[in-house]
Amino acid sequence: MNPGAPYLSRFLSLLAAWILLLMPPGVQALPGVHIGFQPAWEGRYLSGKATEVEVRILSGTGGPFQLILHSSAGEVFYQGTLEANKPYTAWLPLLPNPDEPVIATLFLDDKEIARRKIWFSPGSKPLTVLVQPVSRSPSPSTVSVPAQRLPRTIDGYRSVGSLTLSMDSLVQLDREQLEALRNYVGDCGNLWLAASSRVLSNQLKAIAGCGGTRIKILGQHHVAYTAPASASLPVPLASPTDHVLKPLMVLMFLYLLSLLLVASTRNKAGAMIAVPLLGTAGLLAFWLWQGNPAKLSIWAEMGSGSHSIRYRALLQIEGLGIENQRQVRLSRRLGIPDAKGNPPIITIEAHQPDMASLVVPVRPFSRPEYHFRGSFSAPFRLRLDLNADGPKVVNLGSLRTPAGFFTWKKHFFRVPALAPGQDWRPSPDTAVESAGPWAAKITERSGNSGTALVLPLSLPDTKLVPPDSGLDTVDGWLLIRPSADST
């Protein structure tokens, strides 16, 4: 096999992408409509991950438009309104398929006016990103971009293995770029700071995940990094899959029992014939009544005193009803999920840029799953101290914390809601047998010290799910470790 073949194919696909970008926009679009796409990281991304594309539209006529970014791995629908002769720019997440280009179709007033192919270069290694003016000898996985090209969605960072940028670049970033970068470092992304001050790096470490160990200053000596226990987060517990079956079993059991009873005790033909008819009607009614319940489970972790929480979320839809799709509204901070079963279909509306709708095709007995990951700002500040007197939990924030569980020396304790400034220590009278279905996971994730605080996460705390999400159940837990375990 020719060792240069991957580089040649990458070069050719990049060349094709540039030719498409440089082509006069009128080639495939109506006269007066210019549309251009600028993929993040020059079109390079980690195969199977989401990425981002910058879309620029200039039209001689205004009106509502819809842009569809389609690949067999997923679809993104974007709806907005164009103003005549005014450039429109949007940064959209998308999920390319490694074997094909993404097809972008623009509709203006419900008429298709342009169709383009966007080429991406899939890779098998995470990207090393250098934000100019920082430079280094190029390698196949190194990308050098100016600060203004840094992503504005969290999906833009899915392929990034490490990011190197200077103080000058950092101050050039706009609000959306900073938010995306914050999510990246909050989820333990590697960040190298060039010519940075210790004050700045300490500020960044405070909002970073993994106790800030993934943020380093370029040129300083660093001990080889070893991943702490908190570096990888577990997927939330899946809901039991037999809850569909139990009602069905009960229904069938009752039906067969009533058939036996009626056949044994009654001689009337009408009564005997009525049993199967009622049984069939009952099963159909059960199916119509069920719907397609959607459940979001969130498992989140943070270090004591940290400002950032890392999470993994699992969205499960149970295909029980007769509807063939289910729609849920989620925050765009969740990004494009990894899907098991069905490619995700995302709808984003320009007038609600922070929200996205996920449309899930559902069939009976199908159980589509969507996995999300990222980080969010801690709604409350709790410090977990381990000292000679035993552990102590202190509420340093301005909000009352919810009641939860505390694990220490393989025992569970019930922690009451803590008012601002209040502290709490475990005592025998607060000990409980177990922390419910999450007990095993809490023990597993409590780190070397075996000490952790676990609190229920409510919807407003996470800011990941709007009140009108359409979800049937949301189940979230936050585990807080002592600082020593986080680093």
Partner 1 sequence: MIPLRLAAFTGFCYTAPMTLWILPLLGEADSWEQAEAVLQQAGHAMLLLQGLAVMLLSPLFPVRGSPRQATLAVVLTIAVPWPLLALTWLVQSFALAPLLLSQLALVTAGVLFLNIARLPLLRPFRSTLVPVLQILALVLLLKLHFLGFTDWLRG
Tell me how far, at minimum, the Cβ of 298 lies from partner 1, in Å.
22
Smallest separation, CB 271 to partner 1 (Å): 9
Contact window for partner 1 (CB under 8 A) among 20-28, 131-139, 267-275, 447-455: 267-275
Residues 350-369 that bind partner 1 (CB under 8 A): 363-367
Question: Which residues of 332-403 form beta strands (DSSP E)?
Answer: 338-340, 345-349, 355-361, 369-377, 382-387, 390-395
Q: Name the one range near partner 1 by CB under 8 A: 51-59, 248-256, 296-304, 472-480.
A: 248-256
Compute the distance between CA of residue 346 and CA of residue 367 in angstroms, rounded to an integer: 18
Written as six digits, the tokens of 396 are: 């340093």
User: Which residues inside 294-323 make contact with partner 1, applying CB under 8 A?
Assistant: 319, 322
Does residue 239 touch partner 1 according to CB under 8 A?
Answer: no
Q: Quick one: which of 279, 291, 343, 466 contacts partner 1 (CB under 8 A)? A: 279
Q: Is 287 in the site for partner 1 (CB under 8 A)?
A: yes
Candidates 15, 249, 396, 399: give the one binding partner 1 (CB under 8 A). 249
Cα–chain center distance at 183: 11
For position 254 contacting partner 1 by CB under 8 A, the verdict is no
What number of chain residues touch partner 1 (CB under 8 A)? 36
| Using rule CB under 8 A, residue 276 touches partner 1 | yes
In the sheet that holds 431-432, the strands lie side by side as: 338-340, 369-377, 308-317, 294-303, 473-481, 452-456, 404-408, 411-415, 431-432
Nearer to partner 1, 111 or 363 (CB): 363
Structural contact between residues 95 and 73, judged by C-beta atoms closer than 8 angstroms:
yes
SS3 content of the chain, % helix, strand, coil (to 5): 25, 35, 35
**Minimum Å distance from CB 293 to partner 1?**
16
Looking at 137, 139, 267, 398, which residue binds partner 1 (CB under 8 A)?
Answer: 267
What SS3 state is found at 163? strand
Which is closer to partner 1, CB of 260 or CB of 403? Answer: 260
Cβ atoms 455, 404 nearer than 8 A: yes
Among 5, 22, 199, 277, binds partner 1 (CB under 8 A): 277
- Does 263 bind partner 1 (CB under 8 A)? Our answer is yes
Q: Compute the distance between CA of residue 93 and CA of residue 151 in angstroms, rounded to an integer.
A: 10
By CB under 8 A, name the one of 28, 162, 255, 456 that touches partner 1.
255
User: C-beta of 282: minimal distance to partner 1 in Å?
Assistant: 7
Residue 242 binding partner 1, by CB under 8 A: yes
User: Which residue shows structure tokens 């000679």?
Assistant: 388
Helix (H, G, I), strand (E, B) or coil at 167: helix
At 282, is the secondary structure helix, strand, or coil? helix
CA dist., res. 41 & res. 359, Å (int)? 28
By C-beta, is 12 or 260 nearer to partner 1?
260
- Measured at the CA of 11, the angle between CA 160 and CA 24, to 5 degrees, comes to 100
Q: Out of 14, 58, 259, 355, name the contact with partner 1 by CB under 8 A.
A: 259
Compare residues 292 and 306 and give the one whose CB is closer to partner 1. 292
Spatial strand order in the sheet of 102-108: 111-118, 102-108, 63-71, 74-82, 345-349, 355-361, 325-331
| Nearest distance in Å: CB 260, partner 1 | 6
Binder to partner 1 among 1, 5, 27, 269 (CB under 8 A)? 269
Coil vs helix vs strand at 33: strand
Q: Which is nearer to partner 1, 4 or 270 (CB)?
A: 270
Kindly list the residues in this chain that would bind partner 1 in the complex (CB under 8 A). 241-242, 244-245, 248-249, 251-252, 255-256, 259-260, 262-264, 267, 269, 272-273, 275-277, 279-280, 282-284, 287, 319, 322, 341, 363-367
